[in-house]
């Protein structure tokens, strides 16, 4: 494409992440915690939502922090009037964390006008700590006013962070912030630096390149207007298993439903999408992988509330059930014995640390459209799961 000067402001169209737009209602139904409208209103300036990509990225990062169960606080260096800080603080509150907000609240400090930033002048002085407090609020929020890195001493010495947003434009404070926060990020934590790719602040790009040149993590450029970058802190293997393994832990003696996402992590291969009533197994093998939340549990029984689609051409369905690969039960679904709770004793284990794998294997799957051509459902349906419970034998 020939160089035609500055690109038109909006030539290629835009779309929001589907999770937060067309599927937002589904996302919320399944327990998603992002408050899209509240956060967007808080982020908007004079009623306008500029740099929507920036907001969307922050929200998706918080969503992932919640999903993976990352511990740690939230921090921002470079608050100015609090536009991004308000989003960080709102999400820190929702996660039950503290949001640490650091700035001079009086603009750049001339001590930072060195190297690539030599000759720059005062900017961002038209703010105040009081004004930011009024906008962002006090709950779960701590303000640290002054020149960074001098103010780092006011942060908790044992502080750990799941998300840090560095937005202070200049080489020296960005490098200082990377040196301070990087070792304090929790494994998997999000370290975000604004202005890297904008070509407005050469010091930002330089500080990030210098700092990450010898780190195991690589930067990922983001498509917000100022070219933020993100790294996720390296995560070593953990003795307690991955976050996904931990999510596969089922609390004993209570019913769990697919519809409310309670067993999303336990649903392995061979399941369709959760629906309001439960979930369809598809094809002829549906696997559940889970472990009891209490590893010291005694003998356990898995109860599955299930049914099979029966039609006149297939009035019965046989299914085998295997536990960790060995057949443990044979089930018959028939007109008189279809929907109901079926119990599966689990082989005794000395401890329940390892996940257990249970696979339902219906002999055949049924495509609704082949029985009723008016049905648009072309999925090969196996066994429907309404809810499950893991109980003491
Ligand atoms: C671009 S503004 C931050 C924008 C803000 N994140 C927002 O959402 O609008 C940069 C901020 O970094 C702060 N800053 C720059 N160098 C600093 C330093 N060494 N110590 C503390 N704050 C600094 C400035 O005071 C300024 O408020």
Q: Whose CA is nearest to atom 5 of ligand 1?
A: 79
Residue 117 near ligand 1, beta carbon < 6 Å: no
- Record the pTM: 0.85
Residue 103 near ligand 1, beta carbon < 6 Å: yes
Q: What mean pLDDT, rounded, does the chain reach?
A: 93
Does 3.30.565.10 match the CATH number of domain 18-232?
no
Residue 147 near ligand 1, beta carbon < 6 Å: yes
In three-state form (DSSP H/G/I as H, E/B as E, the rest C), the secondary structure along the chain is CCCCCCCCCCCCCCCCCHHHCCCHHHHHHCCCCCCHHHHHHHHCECCECCCHHHHHHHHHHHHHHHHHCCCCEEEEECCCCCHHHHHHHHHHHHHCCCEEEEECCCCCCHHHCCHHHCCCCCCCCCCCHHHHHHHHCCCCEEEEECCCCHHHHHCCCCCCEEEEEECCCCHHHHHHHHHHHHHHEEEEEEEEECCCCCCCCHHHHHHHHHHHCCCCCCCEECCCCCCCEEEECCCCCCCCCCHHHHHCEECCCCEECCCCCCCHHHECCCECCCCCCCEEEECCCEEEEEEECCCCCCCEEEEEEEECCCECCECCEEEEEEECCEEEEEEEEECCECCEEEEEECCCCCCCCCCEEEEEEECCCECHHHHCCCCCCCCCEEEEEEEEEEEEC
Kindly report, residue by residue over 296-341, the tens digit of the pLDDT. Answer: 767 899 999 999 999 999 999 999 999 999 999 999 999 999 999 9
Atom index in ligand 1 nearest the CA of residue 146 equals 21
Task: Please give the average per-residue pLDDT across 76-85, as a whole number.
Answer: 98
Q: How far is the CA of 184 from the centre of ligand 1 (A)?
A: 21
Residue 79 near ligand 1, beta carbon < 6 Å: yes
Residue 112 near ligand 1, beta carbon < 6 Å: yes
Domain map of the chain by residue range? 18-232, 243-392
Residue 224 near ligand 1, beta carbon < 6 Å: no
Q: How far is the CA of 294 from the centre of ligand 1 (A)?
A: 47
Residue 176 near ligand 1, beta carbon < 6 Å: no
Q: How far is the CA of 210 from the centre of ligand 1 (A)?
A: 21
Q: How far is the CA of 77 from the centre of ligand 1 (A)?
A: 6
Residue 261 class from Cβ within 10 Å (0-12 exposed, 13-18 middle, 19+ buried)?
A: middle
Task: Specify the pLDDT at position 1.
Answer: 42
Q: How far is the CA of 190 from the centre of ligand 1 (A)?
A: 19
Q: How far is the CA of 101 from the centre of ligand 1 (A)?
A: 10
CATH code that applies to domain 243-392 = 2.60.120.260
Provide the percentage of residues in the chain whose pLDDT is more than 70. Answer: 95
Kindly report, residue by residue over 98-140, the tens digit of the pLDDT. Answer: 999 999 999 999 999 999 999 999 999 999 999 999 999 999 9
């Amino acid at each position: 494409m020939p160089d035609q000067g500055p690109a038109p402001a909006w030539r290629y169209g835009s779309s929001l992440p589907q999770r937060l737009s067309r599927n937002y209602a589904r996302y919320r139904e399944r327990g998603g915690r992002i408050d899209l409208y509240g956060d967007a209103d808080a982020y908007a300036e004079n009623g306008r939502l500029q740099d929507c990509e920036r907001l969307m990225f922050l929200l998706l990062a918080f969503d992932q922090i919640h999903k993976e169960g990352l511990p740690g606080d939230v921090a921002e260096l470079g608050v100015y009037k609090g536009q991004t800080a308000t989003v960080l603080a709102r999400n820190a509150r929702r996660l039950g964390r503290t949001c640490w907000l650091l700035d001079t609240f009086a603009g750049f400090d001339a001590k930072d006008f060195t190297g690539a930033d030599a000759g720059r002048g005062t900017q961002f002085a038209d703010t105040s700590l009081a004004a930011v407090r009024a906008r962002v609020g006090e709950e779960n929020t701590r303000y640290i006013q002054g020149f960074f890195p001098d103010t780092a001493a006011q942060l908790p010495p044992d502080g750990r962070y799941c998300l840090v947003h560095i937005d202070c434009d200049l080489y020296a404070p960005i490098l200082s912030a990377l040196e301070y926060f990087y070792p304090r990020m929790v494994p998997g934590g999000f370290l975000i630096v604004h202005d890297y790719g904008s070509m407005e602040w050469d010091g930002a790009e330089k500080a990030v390149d210098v700092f990450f040149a010898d780190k195991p993590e690589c930067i990922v450029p983001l498509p917000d207007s100022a070219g933020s970058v993100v790294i996720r802190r390296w995560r070593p293997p953990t003795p307690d298993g991955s976050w996904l393994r931990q999510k596969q832990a089922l609390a004993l003696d209570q019913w769990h439903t697919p519809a409310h996402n309670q067993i999303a992590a336990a649903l392995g291969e061979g399941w369709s999408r959760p629906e309001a009533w439960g979930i369809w197994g598809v094809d002829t093998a549906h696997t559940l992988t889970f472990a009891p939340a209490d590893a010291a549990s005694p003998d356990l029984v898995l109860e599955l509330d299930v049914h099979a689609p029966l039609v006149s051409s297939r009035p019965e369905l046989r299914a085998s059930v295997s536990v960790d690969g060995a057949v443990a039960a044979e089930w018959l679904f028939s007109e008189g014995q279809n929907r109901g709770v079926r119990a599966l004793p689990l082989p005794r284990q000395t401890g329940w640390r390892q996940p257990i794998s249970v696979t339902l294997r219906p002999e055949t799957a049924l495509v609704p459209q082949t029985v009723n051509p008016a049905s648009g459902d072309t999925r090969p349906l196996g066994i429907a799961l309404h809810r499950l419970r893991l109980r003491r034998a």
